[in-house]
A = this chain, B = another copy of it.
């Protein structure tokens, strides 16, 4: 039996890559997650717009780690830590660890307006994606049923709050859904009349990208008839209505469907680490980690991915990207291996592999180091990267086929309105 036990909480990009990077190491790996699958979150917007099924972008954790004999998966929710006893508390169970990797990511954040959540759902889980899909499709159905022009216009108006990659991708896909996929499927309405508004608080969308790529993205969105409103802050949200301030100007849109792609807050386990291990949190609730990604004072506890605030030598903390989480996961796995061998450990260093965002069919923006792309080439790159990283081989093939089909036919087959129990 291996004497060193590594407990990893969370089977996202960070946790799963850490677990995989420990394959063959003289350790026992225990991966804890609330869900039984790894979710490829960057494609969740495709589920929300009917292009892919949840099964296409999820891989059972047990399947991914099946052949890694030093690993096991346990399903459950971690609620507390016993940092002195080196134990993780999961319901009534306690799971002992020698090294602990916390990789539980982030959730939406409504900036203190939690009442907005049911009115403007965010896109983080499979259930949220199918809920958004249901809302979008039901809005078109309701527009088809109603005869009053005001009601129709309201049902055909969609507001997306937040102009980061998720908001941009969602807006682009939604526009294509309305203008390509649903074309000719209705008899009373023309889905192409749908109005899609993307609201962003800063003065440009995709703020993490260089300015000229933001501009390209805005042009692409304009080409898809998405209205982009920058420097606009949402100040009120009620059923069917969004209020916002754009500088001194006040605006209001009657929209049946409002989607949230604005803020995120770190997983609540950050606060537990603060209380139990004295970790320091930033204002988004992320744990401020040391140069080796450990919690200061606790060299055996690591925090990676969206939950970690890592800044050493950088102007800003590392962004909440899959590629950051993956590199951090691999780094910590390597560190643990070295520690066991008594070898010296270098601080974590992020290798910037660039950023990518897609804006609908054949359009994207990409920055790779000093190179910038936009248009078809960027989109192709985006496609290649995403398919490459889809963790399980089956998914890569099936998603590629599904996409090829969607691309050629402009169809989206996974357009199921599900989730409401039909009455008897």
Residues on A lying within 8 angstroms of B by beta carbon are 34-37, 52-56, 58-60, 62-63, 66-67, 72, 74-77, 93, 107, 125-127, 137-138, 141, 144-145, 182, 184-188, 268, 392, 394-395, 397-398, 401-402, 405, 409, 411, 413-419, 421-424
Contact B141 A416 (CB under 8 A): no
- Report B-chain residues with C-beta under 8 Å of the C-beta of A392: 413
Closest to A191 in B: B62
- Report B-chain residues with C-beta under 8 Å of the C-beta of A416: 36-37, 54-55, 58, 60, 126
Closest to A92 in B: B145
- Report B-chain residues with C-beta under 8 Å of the C-beta of A401: 397-398, 401
- Report B-chain residues with C-beta under 8 Å of the C-beta of A144: 74-75
Closest to A422 in B: B34
Contact B405 A398 (CB under 8 A): yes
Contact B424 A37 (CB under 8 A): no
A66-B126 contact given A53-B53, A394-B411, CB 8 Å threshold: no
A417-B35 contact given A184-B66, A394-B411, CB 8 Å threshold: yes
A251 to B62, CA, bound (A): 35
- Report B-chain residues with C-beta under 8 Å of the C-beta of A53: 53-56, 414
Contact B398 A145 (CB under 8 A): no
- Report B-chain residues with C-beta under 8 Å of the C-beta of A66: 184-185
A-B contact pairs, 26 of them (CB 8 A): A34-B422, A35-B422, A36-B415, A37-B416, A53-B55, A53-B56, A53-B414, A55-B414, A58-B416, A60-B185, A62-B186, A63-B413, A66-B184, A66-B185, A72-B187, A72-B188, A75-B145, A76-B145, A77-B422, A125-B422, A127-B418, A127-B421, A397-B405, A398-B398, A398-B401, A401-B401
Among candidates B60, B417, B423, residue contacting A413 with C-beta atoms closer than 8 Å: B60
What's the nearest-Cβ distance from chain B to residue A348, in Å?
29
Closest to A60 in B: B415
A413-B55 contact given A34-B422, A127-B418, CB 8 Å threshold: yes
What's the nearest-Cβ distance from chain B to residue A95, in Å?
11
A145-B74 contact given A53-B54, A413-B59, CB 8 Å threshold: yes
Closest to A267 in B: B424
- Report B-chain residues with C-beta under 8 Å of the C-beta of A58: 416
Contact A402 B413 (CB under 8 A): no
What's the nearest-Cβ distance from chain B to residue A117, in Å?
10
